[in-house]
Amino acid sequence: MLEQLARVIGDTSDGLTGSQIESLLDSCRMPDPGPITKWRRLVGAFQDRQATDGSPKRLVTFITKVMEPVRYRNDPGAFTTRQDALNEILVHVGLRINDAGQIARGPKASTLSEAAQHANSLRLELRRRGTHPEVLRYCTQEVLERNWFHAALEATKSISDRLRAMTGATSDGAALIDTTLALGSSGARVAINAGVGPTDRSEQTGLANLCKGLVGMFRNPTAHDPRIARTVTGDELLEILTTISMVHRRLDHASF
């Protein structure tokens, strides 16, 4: 587990800088192996101190310092990113980082599904489900900020944007879906199957209606209603994103 924690804290893109690691190791009086690969540097420091102390208390202190909320006042999304990543590891030993940046006891997970649930990590569950990259591209920032309302809005927009990119159409909403996915006299402009027989036609019409439903149910209300008047829960968002992911997978193999 030490290596996994070190890899999160010393991650190349989302982790601490070398100078930050040096400063924190010094403030926690942990031995510093020097300027080597960041995660290896942290593993070495953790192992040495834990062997000396005979307990993980100093590691807990280090992680608590890393997660001090004041460090993230200009980038709250970075706090959530690191909190989720650490919790995905700590939940397997019945610990978690709470919103105050402290290590607290919590439910212990034995499966990835339980880990996602107990770590309160929607990102982990989305990865476990293999969510389509187009969905994540549109709403990752909102997911990191735990802004479910706007995450649903941005993810739903991804369908319209993709249909416009595929066809060059400039319309929006139901009109766009009608001109791209709905069946016309010569078939659909964006066809998800061969269009032969009632089964193919029914499937094509079903996808068009599903997309209209998603836009009508999740994009239009969230675009028009104030956030305070409409609640999108984490569970609802997960279901929305999973459905939108399925739409994108059908578009992956469409002809146009």
Per-residue pLDDT, 181:
96
Does residue 126 register a pLDDT over 90? no
For residue 75, count other CB atoms closer than 10 A to its CB. Answer: 10
**What are the beta bridge partners of residue 120?**
none
Binning the chain into helix, strand and coil, the percentages to the nearest 5 are 65, 5, 30
Per-residue pLDDT, 220:
67
Pairing mode, strands 95-97 and 103-105? antiparallel
> From residue 226, how far is each of 180, 237, 242, 252 by CA, in Å?
30, 17, 24, 34
- In the chain, domain spans: 2-121, 133-252
| Calpha distance 159→34 (Å, rounded) | 49
Does residue 118 register a pLDDT over 60? no
Per-residue pLDDT, 217:
86
| Calpha distance 1→14 (Å, rounded) | 19
Residues 3-58 pLDDT 10s: 999 999 998 777 888 899 999 999 999 989 988 899 999 999 999 988 888 888 88
Per-residue pLDDT, 207:
97
Question: Mean pLDDT throughout 75-81?
Answer: 82
Per-residue pLDDT, 245:
96
Per-residue pLDDT, 73:
87
Residues 192-222 pLDDT 10s: 999 999 999 999 999 999 999 999 888 765 5
Phi, psi of 100 (to 5 degrees): -90, 5
Residues 63-76 pLDDT 10s: 999 999 999 988 88
Q: Maximum Cα–Cα distance for the chain, whole Å?
A: 78
Burial class (CB in 10 A: 0-12, 13-18, 19+), 73: exposed
Average pLDDT, the chain: 87
Per-residue pLDDT, 159:
96
Per-residue pLDDT, 120:
54
- What kind and span of H or E run contains 116? helix 112-118
Is pLDDT larger for residue 165 or for residue 12?
165
